[in-house]
Amino acid sequence: MSIEQKQKEVFAEFNMFDDWMQKYEYIIELGKELPLIDEEYKQDDYLIRGCQSRVWLHANPTSDGTMHFTADSDAIITKGLVALVVRVLSGAKAKDIVSADLHFVKDIGLMEHLSPTRSNGLASMIKQMKLYALATSAGKN
């Protein structure tokens, strides 16, 4: 499934919810369900510092240029959002990640979480994922 298809899928899921509560209940559920990262990567080397919540990110590119990500956060809502981003980007080709427009966050009404003032580490995580992808795709050329 392409990044675009996955974004549409997430949008369709969130479209079912009538109000912010159901939306956030779902995000919290996503956050709780996913043991996202191996403990060995949950340390400072993999830490993306947000002002308020911490995000850990590990990238594992395979030889064909596909990127696999695992991540985690100490805040449950951030963790749920992280899970969504990982779901959309993990398994995609590095070059597609570099050029991806992640409009789904805005589409599902969660844009506020990407604002720099929010400082939850999510925006920095997306930037870091793109940088990993860029490094991988550069290495392939």
Tokens 């080397």 locate to 45
The total of other beta-carbon atoms located within 10 Å of residue 43's CB is 9
Q: Is 20 in the site for other proteins (CB under 8 A)?
A: yes
Sheet holding 54-61, edge to edge: 47-49, 54-61, 67-73
Quick one: which of 120, 128, 136, 137 contacts other proteins (CB under 8 A)? 120
Quick one: which of 13, 74, 96, 107 contacts other proteins (CB under 8 A)? 74
- Binding segment for other proteins among 6-14, 24-32, 84-92, 100-108 (CB under 8 A)? 24-32
- Is 77:24 a contact under the CB 8 Å cutoff? yes
One symbol per residue from 54 to 73: x for binding other proteins (CB under 8 A), - otherwise; what is it? x-------------------
- Is 121:75 a contact under the CB 8 Å cutoff? no
Quick one: which of 2, 11, 38, 52 contacts other proteins (CB under 8 A)? 52
Which 8-state DSSP code applies to residue 65? Answer: S
Q: Which amino acid type is present at position 125? A: M
Q: Is 25 in the site for other proteins (CB under 8 A)?
A: yes
> Would the CA dihedral through 111, 113, 118, 121 be positive or negative?
negative
Quick one: 11 or 20, whose CB is closer to other proteins?
20
Q: Look up 93 and say whether it is catalytic.
A: no
Kindly list the catalytic residues.
Answer: 51
Binding site for other proteins (CB under 8 A): 20-21, 24-25, 28, 51-54, 74-78, 119-120
